Structure 1
Amino acid sequence: MTDHSNDALPPEVRRDQIMALLQRYGQITVKWCAEQLGVSEVTIRSDFAILEREGMLRRVWGGAVLDRPLWPEGSFASRLKQQAAEKERIARIAAELIVDGDTVMLDASTTAYAIARQIADRRNLTVITNGMHLALALGANPAITTIVIGGQVRGDTGSLTGTLAEEMLQRLHADKGFFSARGLTVAKGLTESSIPEGLLKAEMVRHVDRVIAVLDSSKLGQTALTSFCPVDAIHHLITAGPDAPERSAPFTGFFPITIV
């Protein structure tokens, strides 16, 4: 008999769990999902109906399928072209926060890649990253110590994630971490569309003294699948975009905001 003790979970949390299962398996049944989450089949059917109305899944006989990827990422090269001017402006300001002797952590985002290009000629820096493209951009300079967090390669993004990467981070620490995201809200903080990416970024956040969010204004007010940094753990936001003043307004009072 199914234990329905988890029916008391907040509905948003339960639906996040459903979407995590769907993203992993592509298709799930009502019965199996109810067993996995320890809730009733009636609860799962209700959640499926709500998620379908929100455009997150498509119901089929006895279950649901992921009709389309959540926040489809595309290739690294194609994402480099998106909001390219905003990313360059953000990167220039971010680079000004990096001083000689710093150890900095950069994620594998295209915004972090723009930051890496800005600091590629610096001296006396240590950069920790899970981005293969970033490592290549920095590795040619012997005056920068580049540490690559090893793990499983994601071919579409050039990032390294997984248990090995998370274990390696246990031995590392940085003064500053620069993190992009698929979304930023007051309720969920920084969020990612990929669970492995989100898990690794959460671990990266735990190993830096200062968290600096670097994302264009189109991401402000958006929420993706998995949270990796609460809003009260962010120390600074650097953003850009024509609507940046309006979209960044909800974060006033949480941390300094630089609009470029």
Structure 2
Amino acid sequence: MTAQIPPSTSTEQAAPPILRSSRYEYALLGMIIVVVVATTIGSGGNFWSAANLNSILVDAALTAIPAIGMTFVIITGGIDVSVGAILGLSAALTGIAYNHGLSPWTAALVGIIAGTVMGIINGFFIAFIQIPPIITTLGFLSIWSAALYLVLGGNWITNIPASYTSVAVTDKVLGIPLSMWVALALVIAFSWILSHRPWGRYLYAIGNNAEGSRIFGLPVNKTIVLSYTLLGMFSAIAAIVHLGLSPLVQASTGSSGLPSL
């Protein structure tokens, strides 16, 4: 006769899900409250002004868009330190294309294609040539930075379309800048992909055990290349936001990294 174990009556099991938060989540909530109170009192309420909040949201979008691509890369166990250089060179090529007579959004497409190609190159050397990610991207950081210097020829690009500023900073939907809506849409879409699509599962499997994933038959190299490709593309999209926020390109654009571009 087997002994029956009485059901647990612990507070944790009996509590509803909202009350099961860990002490770390409570600590985070406490820090948020402290920050809100401090910024309200310390700035006399100016911190929460519409202009300042708009600036914060645009800066957040500028960081969040390439961070989505970096998430894919980090999940696979990689890293890309050339993001700032990709952003700078994409911004420069966008400005040059516009100054050669292309429309603002055709020029933006040129920059996005350029960033995507740079991401493909990074991913190819990492996946197929099998050079470690930190070495590959450090090398291409220098290459993309040198290319930025060469295409600028020591000059600044200051003739940037005003439409970039409109989309990135001034145009709003429900009081939120369009650039932030783009960032939110990308976050939601790719969060769903990571959770519900096979490609998202591939990323986690490769990050856990790349060689085992390869033996199991997963497309390891293609998945890695795609993750760096998306990072390059998102970095170029962030370059358009950067041009709207700061309408000029110089040799140091992107060199300080994200988010302080």
Give the shorter-chain TM-score range.
Answer: under 0.3
The structure with the greater share of residues assigned to strand is 1
| TM-score normalized by the length of structure 2 | 0.24
The structure with the greater share of residues assigned to helix is 2
Larger RCO: Structure 1 or Structure 2 (Cα < 8 Å, ≥ 6 residues apart)?
A: 2
Larger Rg: 2
| TM-score normalized by the length of structure 1 | 0.24
